Amino acid sequence: MKLIILDRDGVINFDSDQFIKNPEEWKPIPGSLEAIALLNQAGYRVVVATNQSGVGRGLFDMPTLNAIHDKMHKASALVGARIDAVFFCPHTADSNCHCRKPKAGMLEEIAARYNVSLAGVPAVGDSLRDLQSAATMGAQPYLVLTGKGFKTRAAGGLPEGTLVFTDLAAVVAELL
């Protein structure tokens, strides 16, 4: 089985320092959904692993998060793309949970759900914590320069072997 793990905010959709708090604020990055469709056509299962501390902070509730993801799924379907599953951490950074990236809990759950090793599996993110989580599991970290990507690259300290691309479409073009 071919699998790819994507962060959400800053990879699939535009990010916001004030959080994506409702479906109206969720806007896809041009080309990202079409890139997911190409992955699907090439036989990839596409899963999302996303920190969503806005839930834990009380900025939005679970029904709102579900509505945001529903919008993402519907927008994907309109271009022939499918996201197989969305894994998320609703906790705040200070909760010290195991599922919040850069810890590996979400990726461990993905590996268990699909009964696969994540060794070499592409994992695309725009922040250091996305890449660290991927590297912990032996996945191949890809940094995109959308979202927080430019700042992440400039700050340095990327896991060894991290590949850098302009956006998700460029990652997909390289993979395919």
Residue among 7, 126, 130, 167 flagged as catalytic: 7
The Cα–Cα gap between 49 and 133 comes to 10
- Give the pairing type, strands 122-125 and 2-6: parallel
Residue 70 falls in the annotated catalytic set: no
CA distance 64 to 84: 20
Among this protein's residues, is 84 annotated catalytic?
A: no
Nearest-angstrom CA–CA distance, 4 and 8: 13
Residue 105's alpha-carbon distances to 27, 88, 114, 142, in angstroms, are 27, 10, 14, 19
Residues labelled catalytic:
7, 9
